[in-house]
């Protein structure tokens, strides 16, 4: 088949996997290569509701920006990974991005994505736990989470509330890992590469390592990027965990595949 014909037939095949009217979504695909079976190929399909994309585009425009590429968090993270890390052929690396309301997981096998999953939990759970535990405003809870202490509230009580929210988040990550293992003949996960602001909560990294039994590393999205001296290094090192998706997005350019 020609590339065009292939595009048409992939769109046709995709229809059965997409729970919306095909006219309501933007669709793109990437051929990963030939599959093990004869006359078969592995293809990644991404579908996004047009409504959702329009919302994002509107926000970007209102901020005075002109969007040229729309990408998926999990794949932006994969590009960020390729730039900064040496691919290990015989290892599975799980990139886990914990945002405010969303966790993106992308498991790479020998550098190629074999599993992606988003879950609707994140650092908001920590904030809500503090809000509820100490009957304070959301803004105060957010401040308390990031600063670690507040007058009249003991550090131990804060830690306890955060721990219970972390447990919920880690349980969700474990469910995704179990699902990955179930669907891949019990493949091992060799390493977790962690990013996103939700991972910055006190004690989270060590707890994830302990509960999952997997080695956890914080991502370094600027590792292989030359940063001019005019940038504030201290500030950059603070925001590094939360700019991983942005770094991956910035690597893309118009028209690339």
Ligand X SMILES: Nc1ncnc2c1ncn2[C@@H]1O[C@H](COP(=O)(O)OP(=O)(O)OP(=O)(O)O)[C@@H](O)[C@H]1O
Residues that bind ligand X (CB under 6 A): 99-102, 122-124, 127, 142, 145-146, 196-198, 200-201, 242
At closest approach, how far in Å is the CB of 80 from Mg ion? Answer: 13
At closest approach, how far in Å is the CB of 52 from ligand X? Answer: 13
Partner from Mg ion, ligand X, none contacting 122, C-beta within 5 to 8 A by type:
ligand X
Closest-approach residue to ligand X (CB):
197
Instruction: For residues 104 and 173, give the distance between their C-alpha atoms in angstroms, rounded to a whole number.
Output: 9
- Helix (H) / strand (E) element for 26: namely strand 25-34
Residue 162 or 241: the one with the smaller Cβ distance to Mg ion is: 241
| 8 A C-beta contact, residue 174 and residue 117 | no
Q: Taking CB under 5 A as the rule, does residue 221 contact Mg ion?
A: no
Instruction: For residues 109 and 124, give the distance between their C-alpha atoms in angstroms, rounded to a whole number.
Output: 30
Instruction: For residues 241 and 199, give the distance between their C-alpha atoms in angstroms, rounded to a whole number.
Output: 8
DSSP 153: B
Distance (Å) of CA 214 to CA 35, 47, 92, 103: 29, 32, 11, 18
Among 80, 98, 99, 124, binds Mg ion (CB under 5 A): 99
Rg of the chain taking only CA atoms, in angstroms: 20
Q: What is the DSSP string of 79-120?
A: HHHHHHS---TT-EEEEEEE-SS-EEEEEEETTEEEEEEEES
Residue 10 or 219: the one with the smaller Cβ distance to ligand X is: 219
At closest approach, how far in Å is the CB of 238 from ligand X? Answer: 8
Residue 92 or 104: the one with the smaller Cβ distance to ligand X is: 104
Residue 146 or 190: the one with the smaller Cβ distance to ligand X is: 146
Residue 111 or 197: the one with the smaller Cβ distance to ligand X is: 197
Nearest to 43 by CA among 54, 27, 59, 29: 29
Q: Taking CB under 5 A as the rule, does residue 122 contact Mg ion?
A: no
Residue 118 or 191: the one with the smaller Cβ distance to ligand X is: 118
At closest approach, how far in Å is the CB of 154 from ligand X? Answer: 18
Partner from Mg ion, ligand X, none contacting 221, C-beta within 5 to 8 A by type:
none
Between helix 155-183 and helix 204-212 the angle, nearest 10°, is 40
Partner from Mg ion, ligand X, none contacting 242, C-beta within 5 to 8 A by type:
ligand X
At closest approach, how far in Å is the CB of 191 from ligand X? Answer: 20
At closest approach, how far in Å is the CB of 31 from ligand X? Answer: 28
Residues in contact with Mg ion by the rule CB under 5 A: 99
């Amino acid at each position: 088949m020609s590339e065009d014909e292939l595009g048409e037939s992939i769109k046709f095949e995709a229809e059965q996997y997409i729970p919306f009217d095909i006219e309501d979504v933007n669709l793109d695909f990437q051929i990963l290569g030939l599959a093990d079976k004869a006359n078969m190929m592995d293809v990644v399909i991404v579908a996004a509701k047009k409504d959702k994309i329009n919302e994002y585009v509107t926000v970007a425009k209102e901020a005075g920006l002109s969007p040229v590429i729309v990408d998926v968090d999990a794949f932006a993270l994969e590009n960020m990974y390729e730039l900064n890390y040496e691919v290990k052929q015989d290892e599975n690396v799980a990139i886990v991005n914990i945002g405010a309301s969303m966790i993106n997981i992308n498991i790479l096998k020998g550098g190629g994505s074999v599993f992606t999953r988003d879950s609707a939990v994140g650092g908001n759970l920590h904030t809500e736990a503090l809000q509820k535990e100490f009957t304070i405003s959301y803004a105060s809870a957010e401040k308390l989470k990031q600063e670690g202490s507040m007058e009249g509230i003991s550090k131990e009580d804060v830690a306890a509330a955060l721990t219970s929210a972390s447990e919920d988040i880690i349980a969700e990550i474990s469910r995704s890992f179990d699902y990955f293992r179930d669907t891949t003949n019990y493949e091992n996960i060799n390493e977790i590469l962690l990013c996103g602001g939700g991972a910055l909560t006190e004690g989270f990294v060590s707890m994830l390592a302990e509960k999952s039994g997997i080695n956890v590393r914080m991502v370094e999205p600027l590792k292989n990027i030359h940063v001019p001296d005019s940038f504030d290094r201290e500030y950059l090192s603070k925001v590094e965990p939360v700019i991983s998706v942005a770094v991956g997005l910035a690597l893309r350019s118009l028209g690339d595949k």
